[in-house]
Structure 1
Amino acid sequence: MQTTEGTTTGATDGNRTDPHVEVRNPADGSLVGTTPDMSAADVSALADALRSAQPDWEALSPKARARLLRNWLDWIVDNQDHVLGLVHREAGKSWGDSQLELMVAMEVINYVTKHGAAFLADETRRPHGPASLTKDLRIRHRPYQLVGVITPWNYPLGMPFMDVPGALMAGAAVLSKPSEETPLAWAECVRAWNEEIGAPPILGCATGRGPTGQAVVDTVDMVQFTGSTATGRRIGMRCAERLIPSSLELGGKDAMIVLSDAPMKRAIRGAIWGGLFNAGQSCIAVERIYVEAPVYDEFVSRLVDEVATMRQGHDAQGSFTAEFGAMATETQLELVERQVADAVAKGARVLTGGTRAATGLFFPATILVDVDHTMSCMRDETFGPLLPIMKVPDEDAAVALANDSIYGLGSSVWTASEERAERVGAQLEAGGVNINNAMTNVFQFPLPMGGWKQSGLGHRFGGPNSIRKYCRQQAFVSERVHLDNETHWYPYSPRKAKVTATVLRLVEMHDWRRRLGLKAR
């Protein structure tokens, strides 16, 4: 990987010469850097090298692995202006949105290194019957040798850091594949792991387009994927063909329910944060809002006023003069345009925004009202700064509409009543429920983070699962009493069979007649 200070020469593949991918700033189109467009052969060679190094990595103690992960975090923090500068430019983000990606790296690395030894410790099980009375029963957690982590473009640093530290802490080698749209910051962090902190070569970065990602899926032992439902379905099918596990965190259409007793100021600020952070390009973003009729007019009016104060732009590094920045791709911006046009054609009204900027991939914060579930903005994932608001008569209607979706990733309920919060939240068909907050469940690492319905399979992290998901369970049985023979081993005999049957009846049956072998009357 190189930024614009240098050049990169990639491997050749067939008729390609110096294949590479240009990375451009979506805010102004400037070239940020280039990365190799790796072929399947390149990926295979990298995978082989990672596999070769993995046994020694697994052999290290959890404490030793944790020490190297914390050294990595030290390097990232010491070089944060450089690393976050790459995030800022390759994604066209505001500087404030870029800064928050560092928090993810800090939180995840500190969580898995703090708890790694405990999460990976052998578990003991009590004997359950005659066959196990003389056995020591343990469960060992052994890592998949090579884990593939495929991440999208919306959080160049945050996304891989949600997954990679847990896999490394487990003792796995990791072959990561960042999006071709935003690979630079992550590739730099992988370079630092391999060249700056004295870590073993068990972390790789495969850069390139779709075929590169396909090659990763074809060569690893387990896949963690974050991205669209359509791509996730294809990856899941391929993993099933290969008989390897996959964990899929996919699309969302998160509903925000504002009840009549909601803390209004906080709800409005939550809608803005949850819907506009990172220009709305989050799988857990607030994508549709249902407001009870008694407070609907107040909520909409105050939200419009508040949104008008938001600053959008690609502010200078370190300036913090914009809240959110550009959209990452032209394709994504066009999708938002189509959803707005569809809503307006079906009767919705645009209260703010609604039209792309004249330059750069900027789309303003857009509030839509008079929306319903015939409109794509209420049914299909948006991934942009769009806030469609629907008036509902009561909480039952809000719940029914929130659940009327193929997605079920996150959700939020806004109310001053603990009773209403529990009642409404318990009915929502989503993997996460936030009360008087938005998106926050994702950052509570002791809790599972995953989607229901078509929002995914498995959980991204959550307590011990943050590390154990990258492990295979190994049943480990050893002898407490060392005998020359077991009762059920060869040779068979009538006497041994009679003794075995008597013991089994006494221990395994549930009434004295059968325990004593008495005939039924």
Structure 2
Amino acid sequence: MASPTAPAKGAAEHTLPQTLIDRLASRVASTGAGSATIPSPFTGEPLATVPLSTADDVRKAYERARDAQRAWAALPAGERVKPFLKLTEALVDRREEILDIIQLETGKARRHAMEEFLDVALCSLYYARRAPKLLKPKRRQGMMPVVTRVRELRHPKGVVAVIAPWNYPFALGASDIAPALMAGNAVIHKPDTQTCLSSLWVLDLLVSLGLPEDLWQIVVGEPAEIGDPLVENADYVSFTGSTRGGRAIAEKVAPRLVAYSLELGGKNPMIVMPDADVERTARGAVRACFTNAGQLCISIERMYVHEDVYDRFVPRFVELVEGMKLGAGLDFDAEMGSLTYQRQLDAVTRHVDQAVEEGATVLAGGKARPDVGPLFYEPTILADVNGDMDLCANETFGPVVAVYKYRDEDEVVARANDTAYGLNASVWTKSPARGRRLAARIQAGTVNINDGYGAAFASYDSPMGGMKQSGVGRRHGAEGLLKYTEVQTVASQHFMDLEPPGSIAYDKFAGYLVNGIKLMKKLRIK
């Protein structure tokens, strides 16, 4: 049974300075018609009160953003990246402040808040270093050498709507917004109300580092109130959230033919091969399954263990999970924190209880821990899970993993791919080459070998996203910035036209063209 940690020094208060809350609240694009109180998941007590935005506030935010965007887009990309080049050092200098905010608004352990901190620092720096080159006009091959000259240009979309989730609010807000801004856009950003403080904090920091006012604006409110004007006025929509929410976004923007990117749900498999290092794999599985209490779209929820190693691996995995430390301290001692919402606790409880009632076996965990905090649930391992159980195929989004035994690679590939989702997967083996061959057969946007999720996600030079019902488009890599641009081809014709010159008959001109094609192929010009 996972045990609570001792209270951290000074952590019992679980509060933020009122001066900080007031400053952050002033960054919400709102006329102050209403407000919302954010509770701390650790205690259930009020953490902060922030103003809510109305539909009219959203429309006015777009007006201000369009004015700011025109001046911003006129700057060279080398000028636009300057605030972001300063951001990394500023984050390092104020690390403790933002880690406290992330923990207190989400309930996650500090080591998992640290992952968010690192993501924003490193991802924004990656794009700040590369944006000028990615956005630079590029010479492309024309129809005819020398005669046709072609350049590819990149223009900003305009004003981008970014709808960020509650589970990783700092990382999945700022890390998506940074490339959109560097590409020359303005951003209207809707974080989840519960977890808006970290986004308001980094916006406030970037303005102090030189980001123009009104270029990035944050609106706070429920989708029923501000969702329509947010999407209806956008030139591009970036959404991270549920598959159901992604479908609704796609339907909303389809009549206007507005482009979008969606990172959605997952039911991610982990495959333990017969040659896997049992100790390393068991420790890696703890991280893969229970980071942020499993509230991670790329977290592992299905684990397939080869029959040759099952009886050694599973007991060790169970032992490690039963020894995990739960806690609400603002230090690095706890290995897992709280769930963020009561509805999430209810969903996890429902999935586990239904599975147990229908024959699943609890190997570790299996119950809520109100003695630690109101939204804590033990890290849980289940066996004997079958297709009749909701937990088998549907995303749980909590600290629960189902363990299955398999016999051969063809079987495990079929079982790993037997899902509507395709976001992330993990393969554990002593042979990376064998792991890569297996990875190529798995229908997932990212596959990690001897890691649960971080190796792929934190490789910012490579695209990250989902297949099937797990999403459309990618973040990271060149695509993570260029998706926020409109590409334009400008071609100029020199010396001769694409028509027969003078009195040359067209049939003879056609012959010249055909011979030219053969010559260009022979000379490898084409």
Scaled by the length of structure 2, the TM-score of the pair is 0.89
1:318-329 matches, cutoff 5 A: 319-329=331-341
Does structure 2 retain, via aligned residues, the 8 Å contact 1:24–1:90? yes
Matched, 1:472 2:502: no
Does structure 2 retain, via aligned residues, the 8 Å contact 1:97–1:277? yes
**What letter corresponds to residue 212 of structure 2 in structure 1?**
P
**What letter corresponds to residue 282 of structure 2 in structure 1?**
I
Q: How far is 1:182 from its partner?
A: 0.5
Q: How far is 1:437 from its partner?
A: 0.9
How much identity, in percent, do the aligned residues show?
A: 35
Q: How far is 1:261 from its partner?
A: 0.8
1:340 maps to which of 330, 347, 352: 352
- Specify the alignment match of 1:81 in structure 2: 96
- Specify the alignment match of 2:135 in structure 1: 120
**What letter corresponds to residue 201 of structure 2 in structure 1?**
E
2:186 maps to which of 159, 173, 191: 173
SS at structure 1 position matched to 2:326: coil
For residues 498 and 243 of structure 2, the distance between their equivalents in structure 1, rounded to whole angstroms, comes to 54
**What letter corresponds to residue 100 of structure 1 in structure 2?**
E
1:209 maps to which of 216, 222, 227: 222
Does structure 2 retain, via aligned residues, the 8 Å contact 1:187–1:205? yes
| Structure of greater Rg | 1
2:151 maps to which of 115, 138, 157: 138
- Specify the alignment match of 1:516 in structure 2: none
1:214–1:83 Cα change, 3 Å: farther
Does structure 2 retain, via aligned residues, the 8 Å contact 1:248–1:457? yes
2:269 maps to which of 251, 255, 263: 255
Q: How far is 1:342 from its partner?
A: 2.0
Q: How far is 1:158 from its partner?
A: 0.9
Scaled by the length of structure 1, the TM-score of the pair is 0.90
1:511–1:77 Cα change, 3 Å: closer
1:187 maps to which of 191, 200, 217: 200
Does structure 2 retain, via aligned residues, the 8 Å contact 1:288–1:389? yes
For residues 356 and 237 of structure 1, the distance between their equivalents in structure 2, rounded to whole angstroms, comes to 38
For residues 415 and 355 of structure 1, the distance between their equivalents in structure 2, rounded to whole angstroms, comes to 32
Matched, 1:39 2:45: no
- Specify the alignment match of 1:56 in structure 2: 71
Q: How far is 1:243 from its partner?
A: 1.2
Matched, 1:503 2:505: no
Does structure 2 retain, via aligned residues, the 8 Å contact 1:278–1:324? yes
1:78–1:215 Cα change, 3 Å: farther
Matched, 1:395 2:409: yes
- Specify the alignment match of 2:376 in structure 1: 362
Matched, 1:157 2:163: no
Does structure 2 retain, via aligned residues, the 8 Å contact 1:112–1:466? no
Q: How far is 1:19 from its partner?
A: 0.8
Matched, 1:434 2:427: no
Once the two structures are superposed, residues 50-86 of structure 1 have per-residue CA deviations (whole angstroms, 9 ceiling, x without a partner) of: 1101122112222211212122333333222222211
For residues 498 and 453 of structure 2, the distance between their equivalents in structure 1, rounded to whole angstroms, comes to 58
Structure 2, unaligned stretches of length 5 or more?
A: 1-15, 519-526
1:465–1:12 Cα change, 3 Å: closer
For residues 294 and 498 of structure 2, the distance between their equivalents in structure 1, rounded to whole angstroms, comes to 66
For residues 222 and 174 of structure 1, the distance between their equivalents in structure 2, rounded to whole angstroms, comes to 10
Matched, 1:236 2:250: yes
Structure 1, unaligned stretches of length 5 or more?
A: 489-493, 513-521
For residues 396 and 371 of structure 1, the distance between their equivalents in structure 2, rounded to whole angstroms, comes to 21
Does structure 2 retain, via aligned residues, the 8 Å contact 1:223–1:245? yes
1:487–1:258 Cα change, 3 Å: closer
1:495–1:248 Cα change, 3 Å: closer
- Specify the alignment match of 1:110 in structure 2: 125
Once the two structures are superposed, residues 169-193 of structure 1 have per-residue CA deviations (whole angstroms, 9 ceiling, x without a partner) of: 1111111111112001111211232
For residues 339 and 512 of structure 2, the distance between their equivalents in structure 1, rounded to whole angstroms, comes to 70
Once the two structures are superposed, residues 1-26 of structure 1 have per-residue CA deviations (whole angstroms, 9 ceiling, x without a partner) of: x974566688889xxx8311211111
Does structure 1 retain, via aligned residues, the 8 Å contact 2:417–2:443? yes
For residues 368 and 234 of structure 1, the distance between their equivalents in structure 2, rounded to whole angstroms, comes to 33
Once the two structures are superposed, residues 318-350 of structure 1 have per-residue CA deviations (whole angstroms, 9 ceiling, x without a partner) of: x22211111011111111111112211221111
Matched, 1:296 2:302: no
Does structure 2 retain, via aligned residues, the 8 Å contact 1:292–1:395? no
**What letter corresponds to residue 424 of structure 1 in structure 2?**
L
Q: How far is 1:487 from its partner?
A: 6.2
Q: How far is 1:213 from its partner?
A: 3.4
Once the two structures are superposed, residues 398-421 of structure 1 have per-residue CA deviations (whole angstroms, 9 ceiling, x without a partner) of: 111100000000101111234431
Deviates more, 1:74-83 or 1:365-374: 74-83
- Specify the alignment match of 2:421 in structure 1: 407
**What letter corresponds to residue 119 of structure 1 in structure 2?**
L
Once the two structures are superposed, residues 194-224 of structure 1 have per-residue CA deviations (whole angstroms, 9 ceiling, x without a partner) of: 3x22321211111111132332211110011
1:495–1:143 Cα change, 3 Å: closer
RMSD in angstroms over aligned alpha carbons? 2.3
For residues 495 and 453 of structure 1, the distance between their equivalents in structure 2, rounded to whole angstroms, comes to 52
Matched, 1:200 2:217: no
1:49–1:345 Cα change, 3 Å: same
1:497–1:249 Cα change, 3 Å: farther
SS at structure 2 position matched to 1:350: strand
Matched, 1:384 2:398: yes
Deviates more, 1:445-454 or 1:132-141: 132-141
Q: How far is 1:372 from its partner?
A: 2.5
Q: How far is 1:35 from its partner?
A: 2.1
For residues 342 and 432 of structure 2, the distance between their equivalents in structure 1, rounded to whole angstroms, comes to 43
For residues 94 and 255 of structure 2, the distance between their equivalents in structure 1, rounded to whole angstroms, comes to 42
2:116 maps to which of 101, 107, 111: 101
1:497–1:279 Cα change, 3 Å: farther
How many residues matched? 494
1:495–1:157 Cα change, 3 Å: closer
